[in-house]
Amino acid sequence: MNIKFTSKHKPADTHFIFFFKQKEEFQLLSSSPDLFSLFAHISKTEDNLDGFRFYPDGKGKTADRIIFLELKPVKGNWNETFRRAGNALAKAGRSLSHLSASADFSNLTPLEAKPEASWFASFAEGFVLGSYQYTTYKKDENKKKKLRELVILCNELSGKTVNAAIEESVAVSFSQIFARELVNAPGNELTPAELASRASKSAKEFEYKCTVLNKKQIKDLKMGGLLAVNKGSVNEPVFIILEHKPKGIKGKPVILVGKGITFDTGGISIKPSAGMGDMKGDMGGAAAVIGTMEAIARINLPVHVIGLVPSTDNMPSGSAQCPGDITSMAGITIEVDNTDAEGRLILCDALEYAKRYKPEVIIDLATLTGACVVALGDKAAGVMSNDDELSSALGVAGMNTYERVWPLPLFDEYAPQIKSDVADVKNVGGRYAGAITAGKFLQKFVDADQPWAHIDIAGPAFLDSADHYLSKGGSGFGVRLLVSYLRTKAK
């Protein structure tokens, strides 16, 4: 799809005009007095002002149809305002049979701030993300006409500057859609081997490095957690290593770690059947890391980044690990008190492996705990870190992208909850502060002086219902957050 910004009007099949609704008056964002007069007349009798369409009579028309959409400001965040506007256009246009559309912001006054390129980049982002629907298994949906061109109209900014921002934003959005496709894929399709295959194909297409370690190599590395979780499965585990390093870039890398449980039954500590189908999304952290690696390669971000993805499914069988088993990694013995706390076991191997790179920063993402969902719902992820500067930078990136994170403490007083009577540590800490005790468990595998952050994305990674430009199901949460953070590192 071609998305571009211009200050010159261009005919399109559908012309979308955005307006502000303030009190009982309507300020139309268009320079056409005829359209304003028509809408002012309509607005007195139309109750639903979120979207209204009319069709010109064919004489001198510049579009087959003109649709008015309300621009609803998000308090304190114009970028999110425009993302949602992009989604409104995608939603309104979904039922239309059209090949081209234009979004008219030709008069952006009155606004509290001067228009910025990021607004229109965000608009394109919201449009692309809002256009996505998981239709792999819906043949009729795949036969519909697809919009080929979207033109964004505004006369207050340079087209060259805005189009560069739009191009980059669209590239990142498509990488987030790639992550959403991974999360939405059913468990019988997306095995660990298939996850590795899709990561490898992405790496080949967008020119970053992908190495996949097999079970034998995993055994040679003594990755006890990944092997223990995999014991009950017929699918062999993989350990995926991704690397983006543009020429001339020096210094320590940033390490991204993603939990890659392709389906989580809970193992011997089996989950209730209700909602278990959503556990195909337990590799949301892996999807975010793979999507981020693709995104920064697409835009050639000048920063050295390595992505690590340990992957298996978690199945009950005669060979599966059991509660009470003892496993070991990095010289630390672990009592497996609950086999459904498997994510932290495979993440430990990746955190230990990351040490060989002597990284500047380590960030792990995982759909780790229901406790974090209880605490924060699906509107934010929990972030736990041993470095205030890193935690703050992730918070800023989260607000910029509206993939928000909220800090949770890692006080030493939580550590006794994961003390084991028979091993160095156990993998669960009881009923209270479950998200935090999971973070304390992971912290044991990170050097004390190593800046590290753990992001529990269990809430926002898989949505029970649509949320603006994110449809029900896999959200790809974390891709735009990490890209925004990495942009600051690149600078």
pLDDT tens digits for range 281-334 = 999 999 999 999 999 999 999 999 999 999 999 999 999 999 999 999 889 999
Average pLDDT score over residue span 59-88: 82
Give the count of beta carbons closer than 10 Å to the beta carbon of residue 11: 12
Q: What does the pLDDT average to over 208-225?
A: 98
Confidence grade of residue 471 (pLDDT, cut at 50, 70, 90)? very high
In this predicted structure, the answer to whether residue 26 has a pLDDT above a threshold of 80 is no
Which candidate in 84, 91, 231, 344 is catalytic? 344
Predicted pLDDT at 434: 97
Q: Is the pLDDT of residue 160 over 90?
A: no
Average pLDDT over residues 376-385: 98
For residue 33, pLDDT beyond 60: no
- How far CA 152 is from CA of 51, 53, 90, 323, in Å, comes to 18, 18, 13, 57
233 and 321 Cβ atoms separated by less than 8 Å: no
The helix-helix angle for 284-298 and 192-206 (nearest 10°) equals 10
pLDDT for the residue numbered 5:
87
- Of the listed ranges 86-90, 339-343, 365-369, the least confidently predicted one is 86-90
Which strand (E) or helix (H) includes residue 373?
Answer: helix 370-376
Q: How confident is the model at residue 274 (pLDDT cuts 50, 70, 90)?
A: very high
**174-490 has the same fold as 2-156:** no
pLDDT over 80 (residue 64): no
- pLDDT of residue 346 exceeding 60, the answer is yes
Instruction: Respond yes or no: is residue 138 known to be catalytic.
Output: no
- Tell me if residue 394 falls in helix, strand or coil: helix
User: Is the pLDDT score of 484 beyond 90?
Assistant: yes
Q: What's the pLDDT score for residue 36?
A: 41
Contact of 267 with 279, CB cutoff 8 Å: no
Q: Which of 231, 462, 218 is closest to 336 using CA atoms?
A: 231
CATH of 2-156, one of 3.40.50.300, 2.40.50.840, 3.40.220.10, 3.30.70.100: 3.40.220.10
- Asked if pLDDT for residue 191 goes beyond 50, the answer is yes
Q: Please pick, among 4, 209, 271, 355, the residue that the annotation labels catalytic.
A: 271
Query: Is 83 annotated in the active site?
Result: no
Per-residue confidence (pLDDT) for residue 193, from 0 to 100: 98
pTM here is: 0.92
Per-residue confidence (pLDDT) for residue 62, from 0 to 100: 58
The domains of the chain are located at 2-156, 174-490
Q: Using 50, 70 and 90 to split pLDDT, how confident is the model at 49?
A: very low
The string over 384-402, giving b where at least 16 C-beta atoms fall within 10 Å of a residue's C-beta and e elsewhere, is bbbeeebbebbbebbbbbb
Q: For residue 46, which phi and psi values (nearest 5 degrees)? A: -95, 120
Residue 116 has pLDDT above 60, yes or no: yes
Q: Where are the alpha helices (DSSP H) in 185-283?
A: 192-206, 215-220, 224-230
Instruction: Kindly tell me if the per-residue pLDDT of 336 is higher than 60.
Output: yes
CATH for 174-490 (3.30.2350.10, 2.30.30.100, 3.40.630.10, 3.40.1120.10): 3.40.630.10
Per-residue pLDDT at 113:
67
CA separation for the pair 245, 265 (Å, rounded) = 37
Is pLDDT at 172 greater than 80 in this prediction?
A: yes
392-418: pLDDT as tens digits? 999 999 999 999 999 999 999 999 999
- What pLDDT shows up at residue 24? 38
Residue 106: predicted pLDDT: 75
pLDDT band at 141 (very low <50, low <70, confident <90, very high): low
